């Protein structure tokens, strides 16, 4: 994954910080080494021992002339303390580390011989010259130790100086790199800030443009809605006007046809009676078609709030069933009504029209002697009415459009109808806050269920059992 500039700068900054910390740790180590060198003083101890052996040698020369042994013993004691310091820890560890441990041991051995010679009670200062070779040998050993110590400390000092130089270079690199990285990060932050400002400005511009677009679309939708409402009003007015204009001549034709058919058989030949019967049937179909158009138009522009009241769905179902029985005495209509009243808030005329449309469709799209079933009931806070037939059914491809106005399923186009009945049912039920659903199998029949909210105490009641189970032929 490719790292962005800010990530690279941050990683570089972290590296320089680690380098700075490493340099500080190295400085602490170098400082401790200097302090340790000052405390131990290895070169000082070797130099002091070499100087004291030289003083002892000079004192031995003087003793041969002055005959004073106390000065020799004093110098020897000082020399002894210096060599004892070199042989003690941690100095002896240092001398061993530089390869001078054997020299220190030899110096101690020579010192022991001198100590034995000077500690004799019968030391004669006149014999001090005999000790000079031993002191000279000790001086040579101490000079070797001093030279080795000086050489090692020069090397160690040079090494520490180089280490200090490297640490200072690392510190300078870390400080410079941190500063440069800080500048880079500041530049990146400034660039990102500028980008953010530009993005915010673009976002504000886009938001303003979007608000303007939404406002324009809202105006367009409002204008389109007003146009649609005016078009629907014009359509409704046209339908009402045309229907009313047609109803008068159709009624006249219907009345004349009925009058002719009621006349004495001797006045009409069988051929004319058949023709008048066809005219009467066509007039009745045309009247039903005009009634459907008028009902659909009246529902669209109707405010049912003023005509709503508490009604009993069972009573409306009985009225609708009675009308269907009178109009189709040859059909079997099975009623299964709830035991008690099914109260709902609605327009009784419109609700009766709903049941009449559903029952009329059941009669139209099924053949006798197949029964038609009408059932009412209550489930929870809702009342329902179910109409079932055993007729042609609705093809699956047409079920999504059965509630569209003027739509007719392809398997019933040969039957009379205008395709407004189910659309009218849906609109009326929607005005009452309910819903209408259906299930259908092609060739086996359909079942439509109208559900509406219950009112009063029935809104919280449980399911009501059925009571009226009448099966009647009109």
Per-block average pLDDT, block size 10, for the chain (474 residues)? 58 71 70 54 71 73 62 77 78 80 80 72 61 77 82 80 79 77 80 88 90 90 82 62 66 79 76 81 69 61 63 93 87 91 89 91 88 93 94 89 82 72 87 92 92 74 52 50
Residue 205: inside a domain:
no
| The pLDDT of residue 47 | 77
| The pLDDT of residue 115 | 75
Residue 149: inside a domain:
yes
| The pLDDT of residue 100 | 77
Residue 270: inside a domain:
no
| The pLDDT of residue 1 | 42
Has this prediction a pTM greater than 0.85? no
DSSP-derived letter for residue 340 is S
Alpha-carbon dihedral 100, 105, 110, 111, rounded to 10 degrees: 100
Continuous H helices in 98-131: 101-118
Query: Structural domain of residue 444, as residue ranges?
Result: 306-473
Residue 105: inside a domain:
yes
Tokens of 414: 């040969």
Residue 209: inside a domain:
no
Alpha-carbon dihedral 70, 71, 75, 77, rounded to 10 degrees: 10
| The pLDDT of residue 92 | 79
Tokens of 281: 């049937």
End of a domain among 157, 190, 223? Answer: 190
Same structural domain for residues 180 and 311?
A: no
Same structural domain for residues 178 and 310?
A: no
Same structural domain for residues 182 and 331?
A: no
Report yes or no: 46 and 146 within 8 Å, Cβ to Cβ.
Answer: yes
Report which of 87, 146, 78 is spatially closest to residue 118, judged by C-alpha positions.
78
Total structural domains in the chain? 2
Residue 151: inside a domain:
yes
Residue 366: phi, psi to the nearest 5?
-135, 155
| The pLDDT of residue 39 | 40
Residue 431: inside a domain:
yes
End of a domain among 131, 159, 190? Answer: 190
Three-state secondary-structure class, residue 387: strand
Taking each continuous run of H as one helix and of E as one strand, the counts in the chain are: 10, 9
Report yes or no: 315 and 347 within 8 Å, Cβ to Cβ.
Answer: no
End of a domain among 190, 211, 239? Answer: 190
Residue 274: inside a domain:
no
| The pLDDT of residue 238 | 59
């Amino acid at each position: 994954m490719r790292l962005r500039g800010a990530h690279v700068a941050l990683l570089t900054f972290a590296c320089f910080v680690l380098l700075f910390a490493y340099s500080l740790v190295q400085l602490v180590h170098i400082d401790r080494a200097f302090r340790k060198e000052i405390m131990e003083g290895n070169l000082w101890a070797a130099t002091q021992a070499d100087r004291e052996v030289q003083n002892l040698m000079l004192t031995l020369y003087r003793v041969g002339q002055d005959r004073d042994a106390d000065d020799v013993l004093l110098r020897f004691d000082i020399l002894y303390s210096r060599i004892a310091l070199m042989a003690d820890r941690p100095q002896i560890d240092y001398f061993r580390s530089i390869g001078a441990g054997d020299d220190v041991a030899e110096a101690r051995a020579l010192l022991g011989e001198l100590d034995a010679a000077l500690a004799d009670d019968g030391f004669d200062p006149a014999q001090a010259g005999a000790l000079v070779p031993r002191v000279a040998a000790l001086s040579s050993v101490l000079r070797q130790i001093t030279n080795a110590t000086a050489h090692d400390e020069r090397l160690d000092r040079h090494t520490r100086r180089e280490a200090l130089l490297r640490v200072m270079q690392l510190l300078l690199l870390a400080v410079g790199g941190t500063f440069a990285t800080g500048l880079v990060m500041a530049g990146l932050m400034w660039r990102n800030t500028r980008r953010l400002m530009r993005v915010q400005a673009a976002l504000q511009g886009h938001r303003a443009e979007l608000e303007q677009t939404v406002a324009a679309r809202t105006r367009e939708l409002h204008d389109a809605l007003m146009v649609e409402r005016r078009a629907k009003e014009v359509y409704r007015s046209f339908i009402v006007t045309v229907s009313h204009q047609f109803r008068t001549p159709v009624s006249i034709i219907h009345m004349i046809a009925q009058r002719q058919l009621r006349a004495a058989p001797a006045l009409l030949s069988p051929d004319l009676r058949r023709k008048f019967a066809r005219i009467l049937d066509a007039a009745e179909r045309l009247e039903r078609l005009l009634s459907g158009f008028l009902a659909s138009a009246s529902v669209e522009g109707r405010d049912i709030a003023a005509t709503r009241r508490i009604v009993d769905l069972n009573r409306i179902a009985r009225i609708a069933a009675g009308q269907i029985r009178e109009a189709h005495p040859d059909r079997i209509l099975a009623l299964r009504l709830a035991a008690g009243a099914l109260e709902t808030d609605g327009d009784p005329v419109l609700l009766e029209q709903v049941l009449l449309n559903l029952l009329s469709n059941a009669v139209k799209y099924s053949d006798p002697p197949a029964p038609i079933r009408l059932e009412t009931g209550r489930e929870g806070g809702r009342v329902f009415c179910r109409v079932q037939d055993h007729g042609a059914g609705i093809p699956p491809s047409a079920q999504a459009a059965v509630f569209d106005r003027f739509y007719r399923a392809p398997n019933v186009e040969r039957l009379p109808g205008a395709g407004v009945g189910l659309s009218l049912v849906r609109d009326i039920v929607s005005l009452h806050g309910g819903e209408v659903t259906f299930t259908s199998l092609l060739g086996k029949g359909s079942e439509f269920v109208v559900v509406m909210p219950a009112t009063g105490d029935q809104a919280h009641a449980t399911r009501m059992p059925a009571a009226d189970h009448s099966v009647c032929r009109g």
